[in-house]
Structure 1
Amino acid sequence: MNLATLLTRAAGVAATAPAVQVGTTTVATWAALADRAARLAGALRHGLGLAEGERVAIAMTNCPEYVEALFGIWHGGLAAVPMNAKLHSLEFDYMLAHSGARVVLVTPDMAGSLGACPVVRDGGVRLIEAGSAEWRGLLAHDPLPPVPRGQDDLAWLFYTSGTTGRPKGAMLSNRNLLTMTACYFMDVDAVSAADALLHAAPMSHGSGLYILPHVAAMARQVIPESGGFEPDEILALLPHQPGLSFFAAPTMVHRLAHAPAAGGSDTRNLKTIVYGGGPMYVADCRRAMEVFGPKLAQIYGQGESPMTITALSKALHADAAHPRHEARLASVGVRQTLVEVRVADDEGRPLPPGETGEVLVRGPSVMLGYWQDAEATARTVHDGWLFTGDMGALDDDGFLTLKDRSKDVIISGGSNIYPREVEEVLLTHPAVREVSVVGQPHADWGEEVIAFVVPAAGAACTAEELDALCLAAIARFKRPKRYRFVEHLPKNNYGKVLKTELRRLLSGAEDGGGD
């Protein structure tokens, strides 16, 4: 099944209804959106000569063109490679080269960064800017009927960093994304044609994935005029957008609930805030429910099983009379309907309730594997079970509580930051002998990146030098917020750095133990 048929169906049923809005202004009906996607598909296939199954990258900040780009790619029987707009040009370059994309669709604000990529400069990847004359030329192409696609054909190449420091491309099929769509309706929230999805979070990740269930339900796509997350803008928009839902990182929910205007705002049109991508503190959850009412739903998923492992529904959030309500708010909910979830030991054997082990998920949402990386796929998926790398425990009622992240991922502002990636950059400085990067709890961002640095003998470097090094090689949001220069790193008998000790050091500093 071609995912674009969700859009063509909407165009047939509700041709003149608003499909995409910027703020409160309609910029496309369902018929217009479907027509643009079909013309873009024709241009990509016949105008640019792409073959079925080829990859087309998207490097866009949130905008109306994102929706037509995504569905145009699918309509043409191609696979989308959405990329985080906050990445560094070197990271874009790697993803473009690794995916084999021959075309990248960008917004004007991203053209400079993408244009600096060697694969673009050398002519290996064609850059097309939304709104340009070339873009308008694509939309003037003859429309193409949706290209038939199989359930297990690649639809979305989701790049997620790994412990090796290099991003891995999780291959998401039509089946994976349709499973996610079905689970949204069954486990997260009901959606009608009177509703809307607000894209306050990046459309390259969770917010973009949830385009699918909302297009299936013919619900409007709403892009804030700012293109991003501005609490005052969202609160001001609510009275004018009935049935509004949006996906948010817990840090965004925290900021929205603590915004000065939140207490007196009219939130009757707010339907659902789906949060995920990091830990939500119970205090923040309660505060948000006090401000907005019982409108929170939580999901736990990974790029390898998109948005589909467990869910904590609005009803469960609101069930304050339950004797284990506090524990349930601290959990990530129960397994979603179409998947199996277990907590397992090192051999993958299920553990009894209450015991901590690695979280495993199996079902039609689990990725096809990693793009061009059979070894990483074999390490991650066994007998259909995805080994998430997250540690957790199930209770007797099936609620999953996450304990730690075995891969040491740092989640700051809803974005994953992998220490190894940052460490490898810092180790290129000649004055750095050893380095270890950990996350420290932060009230606004969830966590912040801290680097412990051991200088080389007789050498010295400054935090400013290391900061400049990071800014030249990785995205700004990944760089450490603080550098601590130490004589040595704590290690076990095997020479492995004990990151738990480093976190304890940071906790001691917060408690007055010194820096």
Structure 2
Amino acid sequence: MSANIALGLKQAGHIHGNRPAVALGRTTLQSYSQLAERAARLANGLQGKLGLQPGDRVAIASKNRPEYVEAMYGVWWGSFAAVPANAKLHGAEFRYILENSGARACLVGPELLATIAEHRPDSLEHLIVLGSDAYATLFDADKAPLAEVDVDDLAWLFFTSGTTGRPKGAMLTHGNMSAMAQMHQDHVDPTETTDCIIHAAPLSHGSGIYMIPHVNQAACNVMPGSGGFEPAEIFELAEAWGGMSLFAAPTMVKRMTESPANPPARGFRGIIYGGGPMYAEDARAALDRFGPCLVEIYGQGESPMTITVCDRTTIANKTDPKWEAKLASVGQPFPELEVMIANADDNADAPSEGGEILVRGATVMNGYWQNPEATANTLKGGWLHTGDIGSLDEDGYLTLMDRAKDLVISGGSNIYPREIEEVLLQHPNVSEVSVIGRTDPEWGEIPVAYVVGQVSPPELDSLCLANIARFKRPKDYVFVDELPKNNYGKILKSELRKRDHG
């Protein structure tokens, strides 16, 4: 059997050809037989009309739109490698990704054509607008047979968000993505043919990754008519379609929880969240509003969506005496993966306060694109070094303590910013907070909290002193209108450190 992840689409087109595959709002645009045919014709067009060869990279730079699904699967069908780029990037960032990946072709949304054209590298041979006449001619070709690939062949070149320095291209193989899809079906969000996923988060990231297990099950991929994330629209479409899941960053879940719109009476099949810290207070509020449909995943671009999972039963089980601790965790390792908490020597005898999270298994990337030094450092000893600090309890639940680079060491004591952030967010007038370390001549570093909200420093001091050790209390509070975030909604502590250090 072919290792090509597009095999799932081929089988769905054959077995469930009349089922809806792609929809815009309430309107079905393609059935599975139509989507499979479009992918097969596009694969032939990319090779016959553009001269691409197996393994060539094809970039996709677009906001979420219906053509995204056929574009991704057409690339895979022909054994090319997809290079999705976040639509919110700067032109210079697009140029870097296009140049670094060596993409020979770029399929671009019309809204980004001018930006890409202005920053187009010489190495990019073809720039084709999704939905244009030039794009349509790629489908004039006959249907290509599904290309044979090896499990280790590149499928998705996933550029990291680059919160520190240049983004790196994580090489995700057909084997990686197939393993991820099966783990999603088995442990995250079991999907039926009558279900759907709404792509409200970028298809260049987690939502696009979850497109794969949904296509494998012949479930529908729904694009919001607005093209963005509007909680009221999400609720309305969930009510109309039924069986709806979505992947959302914690900030999106919080917006849904706080939306004045009525949530769907039919509920959600699943609200899968990850990609940043979901504070316990926010998780409780979401559970109260949406019921037992919440699932938390922890992963990285280097092990896409798959390191640990906290399933809906665990999150909803308030009678569990350990419920609060489990809710504050990111769940247990996927059974198919190995997760180790390591000390500085990469041994599994980390100190009680935690150590670096290491991962090994079928979802871990092959390495970084054209970056052997970073690959060697990150995959040292055959383990993915996540750069995250965490601890495993006796039941195997992983608690993220912080990024290694975000640790604050004050007077020789380790202070984990997330612990402080969890406490400060308990205040009803604090909407967002981020804690960083500030250089201090006496202590080495001191914790400083950047706060969005209407509250006084003495109130926050009292809250901290009632919940955590005195030495962990922020020594300064900086009040801001908003916190800097990257294109995926992650708070940029690096930017806060720049501001703080002047």
Question: Please, what TM-score do these two structures have when normalized by structure 2?
Answer: 0.83
Question: Alpha-carbon deviation of 1:125?
Answer: 3.5
Matched with 1:208 is 208
Question: Alpha-carbon deviation of 1:161?
Answer: 4.0
Matched with 1:85 is 87
Change in CA separation of 1:242 and 1:83 when aligned onto 2, cut-off 3 Å: same
- The residue identity in structure 1 corresponding to 2:284 is R
Find the residue that maps to 1:73 and give its secondary structure: helix
Whether the 8 Å CA contact 1:363–1:384 is kept in 2: the answer is no
- The whole-number CA distance in structure 2 between the counterparts of 1:397 and 1:353 is 18
Question: Alpha-carbon deviation of 1:118?
Answer: 3.6
Q: Which moved more, 1:396-405 or 1:106-115?
A: 106-115
Question: Alpha-carbon deviation of 1:328?
Answer: 0.2
Aligned-residue sequence identity (percent) comes to: 47
Matched with 1:391 is 389
Whether the 8 Å CA contact 2:378–2:384 is kept in 1: the answer is yes
Matched with 1:151 is 151
Answer yes or no: is 1:247 the counterpart of 2:247. Answer: yes
- The whole-number CA distance in structure 2 between the counterparts of 1:314 and 1:354 is 28
**CA shift digits 1:464-490 (9 cap, x unpaired):** xxxxxxxxxxxxxxxxxxxxxxxxx72
Find the residue that maps to 1:360 and give its secondary structure: strand
Question: Alpha-carbon deviation of 1:223?
Answer: 0.4
- The whole-number CA distance in structure 1 between the counterparts of 2:346 and 2:477 is 42
- The whole-number CA distance in structure 2 between the counterparts of 1:344 and 1:502 is 25
- The whole-number CA distance in structure 1 between the counterparts of 2:431 and 2:70 is 32
Whether the 8 Å CA contact 2:449–2:477 is kept in 1: the answer is no
- The residue identity in structure 2 corresponding to 1:39 is R
Question: Alpha-carbon deviation of 1:239?
Answer: 1.6
Change in CA separation of 1:444 and 1:5 when aligned onto 2, cut-off 3 Å: farther
Matched with 2:57 is 55
Question: Alpha-carbon deviation of 1:449?
Answer: 11
Answer yes or no: is 1:365 the counterpart of 2:357. Answer: no
* Paired residue total: 441
Question: Alpha-carbon deviation of 1:322?
Answer: 1.0
Matched with 1:464 is none
**CA shift digits 1:230-271 (9 cap, x unpaired):** 011111222211100000011111110110124xx3332411
Find the residue that maps to 1:393 and give its secondary structure: strand
- The whole-number CA distance in structure 2 between the counterparts of 1:135 and 1:448 is 44
Q: 2:403 aligns with which of 377, 402, 405?
A: 405
Question: Alpha-carbon deviation of 1:351?
Answer: 2.9
Change in CA separation of 1:445 and 1:162 when aligned onto 2, cut-off 3 Å: farther
Alignment of 1:268-307 (within 5 A): 268-307=266-305
Q: Which moved more, 1:296-305 or 1:345-354?
A: 345-354
Question: Alpha-carbon deviation of 1:320?
Answer: 1.3
Whether the 8 Å CA contact 1:353–1:395 is kept in 2: the answer is no
- The whole-number CA distance in structure 2 between the counterparts of 1:444 and 1:213 is 37
Alignment of 1:313-324 (within 5 A): 313-324=311-322
- The residue identity in structure 2 corresponding to 1:511 is P
Answer yes or no: is 1:490 the counterpart of 2:439. Answer: yes
Answer yes or no: is 1:511 the counterpart of 2:457. Answer: yes
**CA shift digits 1:310-335 (9 cap, x unpaired):** 00000111111111000000000000
Change in CA separation of 1:158 and 1:298 when aligned onto 2, cut-off 3 Å: same
Alignment of 1:319-468 (within 5 A): 319-351=317-349, 354-408=352-406
Matched with 1:99 is 101
Question: Please, what TM-score do these two structures have when normalized by structure 1?
Answer: 0.81
Find the residue that maps to 1:226 and give its secondary structure: coil
- The whole-number CA distance in structure 1 between the counterparts of 2:388 and 2:161 is 15
Matched with 1:501 is 446
Matched with 2:38 is 36
Change in CA separation of 1:166 and 1:403 when aligned onto 2, cut-off 3 Å: same
Question: Alpha-carbon deviation of 1:146?
Answer: 1.1
**CA shift digits 1:387-439 (9 cap, x unpaired):** 00000110000000000111349xxxxxxxxxxxxxxxxxxxxxxxxxxxxxx
Q: 2:18 aligns with which of 16, 19, 24?
A: 16
Change in CA separation of 1:224 and 1:322 when aligned onto 2, cut-off 3 Å: same
Find the residue that maps to 1:490 and give its secondary structure: strand
- The whole-number CA distance in structure 2 between the counterparts of 1:353 and 1:2 is 42
Find the residue that maps to 1:383 and give its secondary structure: helix
- The whole-number CA distance in structure 2 between the counterparts of 1:53 and 1:158 is 15
Change in CA separation of 1:159 and 1:318 when aligned onto 2, cut-off 3 Å: same
Change in CA separation of 1:188 and 1:348 when aligned onto 2, cut-off 3 Å: same
- The whole-number CA distance in structure 2 between the counterparts of 1:123 and 1:321 is 59
Whether the 8 Å CA contact 1:353–1:394 is kept in 2: the answer is no
Unaligned runs of 5+ in 1: 410-440, 453-488
- The whole-number CA distance in structure 1 between the counterparts of 2:430 and 2:334 is 29
- The whole-number CA distance in structure 2 between the counterparts of 1:66 and 1:316 is 34
Whether the 8 Å CA contact 2:22–2:222 is kept in 1: the answer is yes
Change in CA separation of 1:259 and 1:56 when aligned onto 2, cut-off 3 Å: same
- The whole-number CA distance in structure 2 between the counterparts of 1:352 and 1:490 is 27
- The whole-number CA distance in structure 1 between the counterparts of 2:58 and 2:406 is 31
- The residue identity in structure 2 corresponding to 1:195 is D
Matched with 2:138 is 138
Alignment of 1:176-187 (within 5 A): 176-187=176-187
Whether the 8 Å CA contact 1:310–1:336 is kept in 2: the answer is yes
- The whole-number CA distance in structure 1 between the counterparts of 2:188 and 2:9 is 21
Question: Alpha-carbon deviation of 1:354?
Answer: 4.6
Question: Alpha-carbon deviation of 1:511?
Answer: 1.7
Question: Alpha-carbon deviation of 1:8?
Answer: 0.6
Q: 2:310 aligns with which of 300, 309, 312?
A: 312
Find the residue that maps to 1:15 and give its secondary structure: coil
Whether the 8 Å CA contact 1:332–1:400 is kept in 2: the answer is yes
Find the residue that maps to 1:96 and give its secondary structure: helix
Answer yes or no: is 1:6 the counterpart of 2:16. Answer: no
Whether the 8 Å CA contact 2:59–2:106 is kept in 1: the answer is yes
- The whole-number CA distance in structure 1 between the counterparts of 2:431 and 2:100 is 31
Alignment of 1:59-74 (within 5 A): 59-74=61-76
Whether the 8 Å CA contact 2:103–2:123 is kept in 1: the answer is no
Whether the 8 Å CA contact 2:253–2:286 is kept in 1: the answer is yes
- The whole-number CA distance in structure 1 between the counterparts of 2:112 and 2:290 is 35
Unaligned runs of 5+ in 2: 408-423, 459-475, 479-502
Question: Alpha-carbon deviation of 1:503?
Answer: 2.7
Change in CA separation of 1:369 and 1:446 when aligned onto 2, cut-off 3 Å: farther
Change in CA separation of 1:75 and 1:53 when aligned onto 2, cut-off 3 Å: same
Matched with 2:413 is none
Find the residue that maps to 2:265 and give its secondary structure: coil
